[in-house]
Amino acid sequence: MKSWILCFCLLWIIPFTFIEAASNSPTPQASAAVAVTSGAGSSASAANPATVSASAASAADTTNQDPEYLAQVQDWQQYPDTLQFGKEWVLLHKSEQSYQQGVAILLPEWQQTASLLPLSKALSKQGFDCVVLLPTPDQLRVNPGDEKQSKQVQQQLEQWSARLAGVDENMNTVKGHRLLIAQGSSAVWVSQLLATEKMIKPDAIVLLNAFYPDKQANAIEATQLSNDLLPTLDLYQDDKTNWLQEATRQRLSAVKRATKLNWRQQTIQDLTDAPMQISDWLTTLGWK
């Protein structure tokens, strides 16, 4: 009797055991889907050798999800010269000369990237590999001179540092000089990066219409740049805005107080004048 009951229980339990095991096992279709997804990810990574920067990949995800930033990224992706360094988007214009002057890193003002493209292409004709770094809206949303925004300022500095490190890591095989060109509010952030040593120091810096719409931020920039030994070319359009005029006066006063050498401040009529002014200045530095 006991044997009959035991057989009956086994016959009842075994089918359910197989059903449960089958339900937990992946179907052939699911397994194939996982394999295809993994393969596609590997191919995408291998197809884009520029996506190698670990530092740039650590930039704040909040900026990368900003609707304005994403819209700008979509516009940039239409350019054939667009590359991705980690999470950062850049335009790369290679040197058109047989010799190599070095790397020129261009940091545009937010929504003014197009104004720097002629300069980038002109410098590539002078022998530079030019990298135009996609700007972010936060460089104007966060005031670098506002003590109440100190936490946001530090976050921005970390992000700027990571973005520039991504450029350095992807352009580290280029020989020659390292030139940094900062437009508008980018110059104010760069001055803080230099003062806090959060970036690799370039060999020279060019300011283009450098200002932030805040007196304290411009005063900090003037002090920081005047105390740095870095050769500096300060180009500005005199008829742009009162903020720019005030910022250039602040820088000139700070330079005189600090008796800074290798500083040239010069007005230009248009940004199309910048390539010649930069070329002449680099000649005085002995770069040519």
pLDDT tens per residue, range 257-286: 999 989 999 999 999 999 999 999 999 999
Q: What is the pLDDT of residue 87?
A: 81
Which of the 8 DSSP states describes residue 206? E
Q: What is the pLDDT of residue 114?
A: 92
Q: How confident is the model at residue 43 (pLDDT cuts 50, 70, 90)?
A: very low
The DSSP bridge partners found for residue 264 are: 233
Q: How confident is the model at residue 34 (pLDDT cuts 50, 70, 90)?
A: very low
Q: Which long-range contacts (CB under 8 A, 24 or more apart) does 65-74 make?
A: 66/136, 66/137, 66/138, 68/137, 69/136, 69/137, 72/111, 72/113, 72/134, 72/135, 73/134
Q: How confident is the model at residue 69 (pLDDT cuts 50, 70, 90)?
A: confident
CA distance 200 to 160: 12
Q: What is the pLDDT of residue 180?
A: 98
CB 225 within 8 A of CB 251: yes
Q: What is the pLDDT of residue 160?
A: 94
pLDDT tens, residue by residue, 221-234: 999 999 999 999 99
Please, what is the average pLDDT of the chain? Answer: 81
Phi, psi of 281 (to 5 degrees): -65, -40
69 CB contacts (<8 Å, ≥6 apart)? 63, 136, 137
pLDDT at residue 83 tops 50? yes
Mean pLDDT over 76-86 rounds to 85
- The number of beta carbons lying within 10 Å of the beta carbon of residue 117 is 17
Q: How confident is the model at residue 61 (pLDDT cuts 50, 70, 90)?
A: low
* 46 or 225: which leads in pLDDT: 225
Three-state secondary structure call for residue 32? helix
Mean pLDDT over 183-196 rounds to 95
Which of the 8 DSSP states describes residue 178? E
* 106 or 173: which leads in pLDDT: 106
* 41 or 267: which leads in pLDDT: 267
Mean pLDDT over 208-225 rounds to 96
CA distance 203 to 232: 10
Q: How confident is the model at residue 172 (pLDDT cuts 50, 70, 90)?
A: confident
> Could you tell me the CA-to-CA distances from 150 to 146, 158, 247 in Å, in that order?
7, 12, 22
CA dihedral 254, 258, 262, 264 (to 10 degrees): 20
Tell me the one-letter amino acid at 172.
N
pLDDT at residue 50 tops 50? no
Least confident of 20-24, 91-95, 131-135: 20-24
CA dihedral 151, 154, 158, 164 (to 10 degrees): 140
pTM metric for this prediction:
0.78
pLDDT at residue 142 tops 70? yes
Mean pLDDT over 73-85 rounds to 85
- The number of beta carbons lying within 10 Å of the beta carbon of residue 82 is 17
Q: How confident is the model at residue 63 (pLDDT cuts 50, 70, 90)?
A: low
Mean pLDDT over 19-24 rounds to 40
